[in-house]
A = this chain, B = another copy of it.
Amino acid sequence: MTRPHRIAALALTALGACRGAPAAVRPEPVRNATPPARVVAESAPADWREVPADELLVMELGDGGRVVIQLAPAFAPVHVANVRALARGGGWARASVYRVQDNYVTQWGNGGGGGGAPAAPPAGVVEQPPAEFERTLDGVAPRPLAYADPYAAATGHWEGWPVAYDPRARAAWIPHCYGTVAAARGNTPSTGSGSELYAVIGHAPRQLDRNLAVVGRVLDGMAHLSARPRGSGNLGFYDRARGETPQPIVRVRLASDVPEAERPRYEVMRTDGAAFAAYLAGSANRHDAFFAQPAGGVDVCNARVPTRPRPAAR
Contact = CB atoms under 8 A, between A and B. Distances in A.
A207 B295 contact: yes
A226 interface: yes
A235 to B, nearest CB: 11
Contact of A289 (B188, B226, B286, B302): B188
A203 B187 contact: no
A202 interface: yes
A26 interface: yes
B210 A293 contact: yes
Interface of A: 7, 10-15, 17-21, 26, 100, 102-103, 131, 133, 147-152, 177-179, 187-189, 202-207, 209-211, 222-223, 226-230, 283, 286, 289-299, 301-302
List the 4 closest pairs (A to B, CB-CB), nearest first.
A148-B148, A11-B14, A18-B18, A147-B150
20 contacts: A7-B7, A10-B10, A14-B15, A19-B148, A102-B222, A102-B223, A103-B178, A103-B179, A103-B222, A133-B293, A149-B297, A177-B203, A178-B202, A188-B289, A189-B292, A206-B298, A207-B291, A207-B294, A211-B290, A223-B230
